């Protein structure tokens, strides 16, 4: 991937960035974003950091969930997804006996990292779909051309979504989050308070960097260093304990509570092998990190030409995550799930009885498979039962 001299990146390599065709059009779009108000308030960011510090100390849980990739014009589905998160929050809090912080993968999850830069169909090669903030999903040259004007549409859609869920300046039950992938967008929405010299990422209350962009010597980790928002890092099977210690040293060198969340995405078949040594070494360093389980990304499989996940694998990884922390005396701090409030047929299993032959009936995800409402509530209930056994 190209090295992009994004603002504040000091020439560091920036992975997973679009190949924008028109630099002047990109400049006009980012300058317009710089003139617009931040999408979130510093007061809400501070409140969320305090709540996440409570979770890291074992006194709360984080429930983070929503779409794999949001699409423009999908506000009604977003509202149903937030409603599902609220139902899951009620179940977790009541059964587990802990306050639950609700953070949606909403109001900004419009970009996705991809394994390959191009997609080939019937001998035709086009740029891969990178999310609605970059290009369109339709397989045409026009749709797949990265368009900087989409960054402005992403801002507008995010603002409308925040207004609908009540965080357009007023307290509500759900914070916003997304993967901090597009550095041109994130840098344009950074805001520094001249009174305090604190820099806030104005695009969301909480951000994360993924398995493909967590390299400590590159631009995404520097972004995490620069802002005072809560920041998470996805941790896959290739991560070592030393990798995590270096990330902690870069992103949260002062060990400030509530700053850093580690989201493990290891897979049901590997978590028991990998997670204990990661947790133990991080525990010994004394950093107040919040451990969260993403049981989705390590359990993706392909059925025919369709990606899916088994609800049984999702539940198995959550169960192992909680049990490992219980055994080590550390806090299993929460869940990170890809869900929707719609009755989709993208993940197999659960009490609703979705089978492989049902996948084509209502598969609407723009990228990866999501739990539908019934499956999400079932997973939350099963996880809550396991959490109820954790000593308080």
Per the annotation, does 214 bind a ligand?
no
Place of tokens 């820099």: 199
Does 212 appear as a known binding residue?
yes
Map 265-307 to HEC letters: CCCCCCHHHHHHHHHHHHHHHCCCCEEEECCCHHHEEEECCEE
Q: Which two tokens stand for residue 329?
A: 């005396």
Is 112 labelled a binding residue?
Answer: no
- Say if residue 153 carries a ligand binding annotation: no
- The answer to whether 280 is a known ligand-binding residue is no
> Closest Cα to residue 65, out of 364, 369, 338?
338
Taking a C-beta distance cutoff of 8 angstroms, is the pair 264, 271 a contact? yes
Is 54 one of the annotated binding-site residues?
Answer: no
* Cα dist from 322 to 66, 102, 233, 271, 351, whole Å: 21, 19, 19, 11, 22
Q: Answer yes or no: is 171 a known binding residue.
A: no
Residue 35 makes CB contacts below 8 A (sequence gap 6+) with: none
- Cβ atoms of 309 and 347 closer than 8 Å: yes
The angle, 0 to 180 degrees and rounded to 10, between the axes of the packed helices 241-251 and 219-226 is 50
- Return the beta strands (E) in the chain as ranges: 61-66, 100-105, 118-121, 124-127, 175-179, 190-193, 198-201, 206-209, 231-235, 260-264, 290-293, 300-303, 306-309, 334-338
> Residue 368, annotated ligand binder?
yes
Phi-psi region of 99 (alpha: psi -120 to 50; beta: other; left: phi over 0): beta
370 is in an annotated binding site: no
> Per-residue b/e over 293-324, b at no fewer than 16 CB within 10 Å?
bbbbbbbbeeeeeebbbbbebbbbbbbbbbbb
Residues present in the chain in total? 392
Q: Tokens in use for 355?
A: 């089978």
The annotation places the binding site for phosphoenolpyruvate at: 105, 211-212, 234, 265
Binding-site members are 68, 105, 211-212, 234, 265, 297, 338, 368
Residues making up the annotated binding site for Mn(2+) are: 68, 297, 338, 368
């Amino acid at each position: 991937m190209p090295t992009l001299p994004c603002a504040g990146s000091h020439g560091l390599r920036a992975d997973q960035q679009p190949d924008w065709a028109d630099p002047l059009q990109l400049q006009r779009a980012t300058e317009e974003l710089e003139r617009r108000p931040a999408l979130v308030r510093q007061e809400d960011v501070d409140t969320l950091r305090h709540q996440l510090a409570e979770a890291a100390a074992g006194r709360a849980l984080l429930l983070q969930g929503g779409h794999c990739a949001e699409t423009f014009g999908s506000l009604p589905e977003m509202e149903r997804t937030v409603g599902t998160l609220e139902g899951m929050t009620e179940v977790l809090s009541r059964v587990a006996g802990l306050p639950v912080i609700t953070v949606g993968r909403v109001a900004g999850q419009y970009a996705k990292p991809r394994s390959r830069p191009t997609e080939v169909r019937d001998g035709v090669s086009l740029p891969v779909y990178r999310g609605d903030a970059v290009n369109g999903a339709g397989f045409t040259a026009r749709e797949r051309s990265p368009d900087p004007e989409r960054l402005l549409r992403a801002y507008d859609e995010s603002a409308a979504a925040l207004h609908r869920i009540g965080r357009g300046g007023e307290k509500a039950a759900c914070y916003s989050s997304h993967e901090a992938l597009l550095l041109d967008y994130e840098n344009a929405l950074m805001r520094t308070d001249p009174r305090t010299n604190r820099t806030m990422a104005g695009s969301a209350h909480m951000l994360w960097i993924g398995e493909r962009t967590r390299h400590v010597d590159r631009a995404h980790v520097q972004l995490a260093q620069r802002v005072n928002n809560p920041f998470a890092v996805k941790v896959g099977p290739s991560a070592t304990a030393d990798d995590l210690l270096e990330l902690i040293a870069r992103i949260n060198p002062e060990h400030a509570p509530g700053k850093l969340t580690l989201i493990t995405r290891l897979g049901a078949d590997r978590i028991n092998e990998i997670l204990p040594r990661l947790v133990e070494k991080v525990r010994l360093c004394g950093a107040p990190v919040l451990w969260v389980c993403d049981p989705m990304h390590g359990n993706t499989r392909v059925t025919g030409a369709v990606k899916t996940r088994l609800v049984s694998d999702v539940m198995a990884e959550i169960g192992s995550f909680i049990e490992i922390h219980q055994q080590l005396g550390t806090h299993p701090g929460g869940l990170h799930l890809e869900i929707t409030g719609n009755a989709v047929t993208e993940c197999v299993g659960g009490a609703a009885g979705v089978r492989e032959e049902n996948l084509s009936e209502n598969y609407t995800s723009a990228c990866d498979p999501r739990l539908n409402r019934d499956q999400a509530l079932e997973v939350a209930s099963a996880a809550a039962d396991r959490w109820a056994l954790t000593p308080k």
